[in-house]
Amino acid sequence: MSVLAGWQTIEQDFPRNGSWEEQACFCLQYALLAPSTHNAQPWLFRIRAGAIELQADRSRGLAVSDPFDRELSISCGAALFNLRIALQRFGFQVEVEVVPRADDPDLLARVTVVGRARPAAESRLLFQAIPRRHTNRGSFDSRPVSPRILHELVQAARREGAWLEILEGDNKLAAADLVAEGDRVQLADPHFRRELSAWQSDGRGARADGLSALGLPTRETGFELGPLLIRTFDWYSLGRPAQDRELALGSPVLAVLGTRHEETSAWLAAGQALQHILLGATIAGVHASFLNQAIEVSALRQRLCALTGCVSFPQILLRMGHSNAAPATPRRKLEDVLLR
């Protein structure tokens, strides 16, 4: 059964009397619903006795926009958080070890079952939000996000070893300008445009990954024109920087998610914090998407960091607000990401 198609009933189908492998596979279906840059889904899993290992699928890395696999690791961290929550929902107590072997950089984490316990109410709520969370790249309406919700999201980031800074006033304006500048830098690069076009999907179900045009704003010129023109056309002259700047300024919340360190373990923490924030927002009826151009361009990342007043590392620029539901993006099958 597809989790995306049958999420309302699949929770009831957990194989309580099944083997550990059957139960692990069931929980892994929820890990696959994590967000990832370009919907590349750069993760692999291996089921061990009483444990699940998460590995990076570096064949799905983005050499131009993510040359150090920073966003790849963040994406894997989001999948790790989903896996933690799914296991906890079905009564498993788990311990998570990140980067468990220095001699194997592709092994990002190991989740080990250490006991059984009744799931906490928060775990149930977060679990039920996993299939409902979809990246919403459209515009948000003007309704504000309540300070109480924002406080809870800031606390969620802290619990995962990261920080979340809400940008307001002049800082929000400056961040929106950096987004537009990042667009201009990236879209002027033919290598970036070629990489972006390679991950564009036509939205007709032919691919189980990539950026579907169905999940993008209808006015995002370029996705309507097709991958050939993205590769060859002077795309930034079509107004994408101005559109993204407008999206940033028009979002009730523009926030920076960051970490105190810059290494694989910190990126995994950022990914877990990101997913905790996104699921918490989903529970509260708040939608979100990303404007990471100002982080992917290193010179702009330093300027974005200055806006937060911190001396650490911004990892994600997040926009949030209220909107209509966004469509789900395609996902690879479990057998395609399961190592035997």
Q: What is the pLDDT of residue 236?
A: 54
CB 240 within 8 A of CB 309: no
Beta-carbon count within 10 A of 250 CB? 15
Helix (H, G, I), strand (E, B) or coil at 123: helix
Which uninterrupted H or E stretch holds 321?
strand 313-321
- Asked if pLDDT for residue 294 goes beyond 60, the answer is yes
Q: What is the pLDDT of residue 88?
A: 98
Q: What is the pLDDT of residue 230?
A: 62
Digit-coded pLDDT (tens) for 183-235: 999 999 999 999 999 998 765 667 899 987 544 443 343 444 456 556 555 65
Q: What is the pLDDT of residue 221?
A: 39
Cα-trace Rg, the chain: 19
Per the DSSP assignment, residues forming a β-bridge with 258 are 163, 314
Beta-carbon contacts of residue 335 (< 8 Å; ≥ 6 apart): none
Q: d(Cα 239, Cα 293) in Å, to the nearest integer? A: 15
Q: What is the pLDDT of residue 272?
A: 98
Q: What is the pLDDT of residue 226?
A: 57
Q: What is the pLDDT of residue 207?
A: 86
CB 57 within 8 A of CB 43: yes
- Asked if pLDDT for residue 140 goes beyond 60, the answer is yes
Q: What is the pLDDT of residue 310?
A: 78
DSSP state of 119: P
**Residue carrying structure tokens 């099958």:** 333
Q: What is the pLDDT of residue 237?
A: 55
Q: What residue type is assigned to position 288 of the chain?
A: A
What is the separation of C-alpha 23 from the centre of its chain, rounded to a whole number of angstroms?
Answer: 25
Q: What is the pLDDT of residue 213?
A: 58
Q: Is 169 exposed, middle or buried, given 0-12, 13-18 or 19+ CB atoms closer than 10 A?
A: exposed
Q: d(Cα 293, Cα 297) in Å, to the nearest integer? A: 6
Tokens at 163, concatenated: 């920080």
Instruction: Considering only the C-alpha atoms of the chain, give the largest distance between any 2 of them, rounded to a whole number of Å.
Output: 59
Task: Establish how many alpha carbons lie within 13 A of residue 199's alpha carbon, considering only the half-sphere containing its beta carbon.
Answer: 23
For residues 37-59, average pLDDT: 98
- Asked if pLDDT for residue 281 goes beyond 80, the answer is yes
- Asked if pLDDT for residue 24 goes beyond 80, the answer is yes
Q: What is the pLDDT of residue 6?
A: 39
Q: What is the mean pLDDT of the chain?
A: 91
Q: What is the pLDDT of residue 8?
A: 44
Instruction: Please give the domain boundaries of the chain with CATH numbers for all domains.
Output: 3-134 (3.40.109.10), 147-188+234-321 (3.40.109.10)
Beta-carbon count within 10 A of 97 CB? 13
Task: Establish how many alpha carbons lie within 13 A of residue 116's alpha carbon, considering only the half-sphere containing its beta carbon.
Answer: 3
- Asked if pLDDT for residue 247 goes beyond 90, the answer is yes
CB 164 within 8 A of CB 272: no
**Residue carrying structure tokens 């300070």:** 147
Digit-coded pLDDT (tens) for 266-276: 999 999 999 99
Phi, psi of 18 (to 5 degrees): -85, 180
Q: d(Cα 73, Cα 77) in Å, to the nearest integer? A: 6
For residues 247-265, average pLDDT: 97
Digit-coded pLDDT (tens) for 104-136: 999 999 999 999 999 999 999 999 999 999 999
Q: What is the pLDDT of residue 3?
A: 43
Q: Is 12 exposed, middle or buried, given 0-12, 13-18 or 19+ CB atoms closer than 10 A?
A: exposed
- Asked if pLDDT for residue 172 goes beyond 70, the answer is yes
For residues 53-60, average pLDDT: 98
